[in-house]
Structure 1
């Protein structure tokens, strides 16, 4: 059974050319086209495509905003975004909006056909020259996670410092004028927040975040 495709682009000549290319494939059928985001949103009330090939830069609702709106109406339809620009911001925003693919318009031939088949098959497709942007995004996310610091209250920070410096629970309770049981509660809470399972983990965390230092 052929995949049902819908084309969205505000340039009639480009739409016609794209339609000709896609109709030459036996496993594709074009069930409709639209020239704006508003039009495709209206037509989706009657049509049920498997995949929408959509331009990003359109007057009115652009392709990314339209993708977000489509996701509210239909979570199953696949969306492949087309653009003239090799733009990192468009790529990230488009994927975040719910698109499964991102292709440059200069690749509307074999590359686009392969992309459509991949997306229909349940995969994501990113134009090869744009893939480094995703690696960069992943690296930034990992770096941010590594530098993330759980919020500790002032008293929790004091208990952490003293524990890392080798104070016993009794010594900490005397230093901070609290009960030993309270110290135990603070330590348990701290370990949960920073993901530590033993004292060495508290020491490492304290050193890493410059709460203590050893000469």
Structure 2
């Protein structure tokens, strides 16, 4: 069975070249095309492609906005975005809007067919030179997560480690040379700071943040 393709691009010459490339594949069938986001949304009310190959930069409703509109009513169709630029912002916005692929126009003759097959198979495709942007984004999320981590004092950290290691409050008081009541106070503060209600949550927190090892 042939995969049904729909092309959206505002440049007639580029669109014609794209069709030539795609029609060379025996298992691809082009069932429609549009020169704007608005036209694409109208035509998609009447046809059901398997994948939409769409330019990002178009007058009026661009490819990212059109992707968002499509996703409001159709979560199944695959969307592969094309662009002239290696732009980190476009990449992030496109993926967030619901696209499964992102290809540079300069690579359509070598990468597009491969990208379409990958996306049709249920996977995401990002043009190789853009992949570092995704690693950067992931690193930023990790850094933000670390910045959001509640601040524990040195003594609170010591108490948390001992609790996670299974020490009783009496054993902790003897280890740190403080009263049991003081240990209870530290434990209460720690639980409030990290939002824990059970001892098991303290253990999980300690493991997650490498305060203790767990084999």
TM-score normalised by length of structure 1? 0.75
Deviations 1:129-170 (A, max 9, x none): 000000000011011111113599999999999999999999
Closer, same or farther in 2 for the Cα pair 1:168/1:95, shift >3 Å? same
Give distance in 2, aligned partners of 1:93 and 1:214.
Answer: 39
Give distance in 2, aligned partners of 1:7 and 1:37.
Answer: 11
Aligned length: 215
Deviates more, 1:155-164 or 1:34-43: 155-164
Deviation of residue 4 (structure 1)? Answer: 0.4
| 1:198 corresponding residue in structure 2 | 198
Give distance in 2, aligned partners of 1:134 and 1:207.
Answer: 27
Closer, same or farther in 2 for the Cα pair 1:62/1:199, shift >3 Å? same
Give distance in 1, aligned partners of 2:82 and 2:135.
Answer: 21
Give distance in 2, aligned partners of 1:23 and 1:166.
Answer: 67
TM-score normalised by length of structure 2? 0.75
Deviates more, 1:22-31 or 1:144-153: 144-153
Give distance in 1, aligned partners of 2:69 and 2:51.
Answer: 15
Give distance in 2, aligned partners of 1:201 and 1:182.
Answer: 21
Does 2:208 match 1:208? Answer: yes
| 1:22 corresponding residue in structure 2 | 22
Give distance in 2, aligned partners of 1:194 and 1:8.
Answer: 49
Where in structure 1 do 4 or more consecutive aligned residues deviate above 3 Å? 149-190, 195-215
3-state SS in 1 of match to 2:103: strand
Give distance in 1, aligned partners of 2:73 and 2:206.
Answer: 49
Deviations 1:54-95 (A, max 9, x none): 000000000001100000020000000000001000001100
Deviates more, 1:156-165 or 1:121-130: 156-165
Give distance in 1, aligned partners of 2:100 and 2:12.
Answer: 24
> Which residues of structure 2 form unaligned runs of 5+?
none
> Which residues of structure 1 form unaligned runs of 5+?
none
Closer, same or farther in 2 for the Cα pair 1:186/1:24, shift >3 Å? same
Give distance in 1, aligned partners of 2:149 and 2:113.
Answer: 46
Deviation of residue 109 (structure 1)? Answer: 1.4
Closer, same or farther in 2 for the Cα pair 1:192/1:33, shift >3 Å? farther
